[in-house]
Homo-oligomer: A and B are copies of this chain.
Amino acid sequence: MSESERDKRAADIPGAGADLDLFEGGPTGRGVYAALRARIVRLDLPPGTPLMRAELAETHGVSLTPLRDALQQLAKEGLVRIYPQSRTLVAPIDTAAIREAQFMRIALETEVVRRLAQAIAPGDLERLRGIVARQAEIGDRPGDIAAFHELDEAFHQTLFAAAGHVQSQRVMRSHGGHLERLRRLHLDDTDAAGRVVNNKAVIGGHTEILDGIAAGAPGRAMDALRRHLNRTVDRMTEKRAAFPDYFASGTQ
């Protein structure tokens, strides 16, 4: 049942990626882009998978031109590697790219939180508290992974929205594909008990951040956020050992 739940969530991801409407290659190409990105990020198309343009074009019912647009877009995000005149394949997960994405996220979100601690609209703070409250409600039940994760997304997006910098978050996300894939690897590797613990930690982090903001204490809010975000990447080397084929052979 958690199985079907997860699949449902996975199927939703294309939609989630679609709001990154920074990308388009024209009306037609866009759908292809979104579909491919979703499959790559979901690791449905694992790193190294060759992408045959002719075949993909036929599958998606478009010609080579919009398909090329989509691939170029993905190449610019680093999710696809195009070897000119040769072939195109799903890029390996790049450790360096993950570090950059993480850096960007900490930098941006830390600044968001800082500004919110200086001034936040009461309505926004309420909304944020509400999200955390809903997380707490389902936090104990190990079942609703999808819902919990969705609320987590909502929390961070609301932070950016409250600060008036949704666009920056969009830019950040558009370069965070490698990090998303790493997170995907983490998704399935915790048992129910461990997940509940993790959920509690997430909720605690969110609460600390909001407390810092509410108290008008930028430093406190920023530190809390930093701790909260650093959780994700810590276990990267472990994942890299478990899925050596998925990662680039670069340093570290």
Contact = CB atoms under 8 A, between A and B. Distances in A.
Contact of A107 (B25, B69, B84, B111): B111
Given A26-B84, A107-B108, 12 more contacts: A22-B76, A96-B167, A100-B168, A100-B171, A103-B111, A103-B165, A103-B168, A104-B108, A107-B107, A107-B168, A108-B108, A171-B171
A81 interface: no
- List the number of copies, as a whole number: 2
A106 interface: yes
A84 B43 CA distance: 33
A23 interface: yes
A250 interface: no
Among A23, A26, A76, find the residue whose CB has the most chain B CB atoms closer than 10 A: A76
A165 B69 CA distance: 28
A220 interface: no
> Dominant SS at the A interface?
helix
Contact of A76 (B23, B97, B110): B23
A154 to B, nearest CB: 21
A168 B25 contact: no
Interface string A105-119: 011101110000000
A111 B106 contact: yes
Contacts of A76: 22-23
Interface in A22-45: 22-23, 25-27
A27 to B, nearest CB: 7
Nearest to A170: B100
A25 B111 contact: no
Contact of A111 (B26, B27, B110, B168): B110
Contacts of A88: none
Contacts of A108: 104, 107-108
A156 to B, nearest CB: 14
A206 interface: no
Given A22-B76, A72-B69, A110-B107, A84 B27 contact: yes
B26 A171 contact: no
A237 to B, nearest CB: 18
Contacts of A181: none
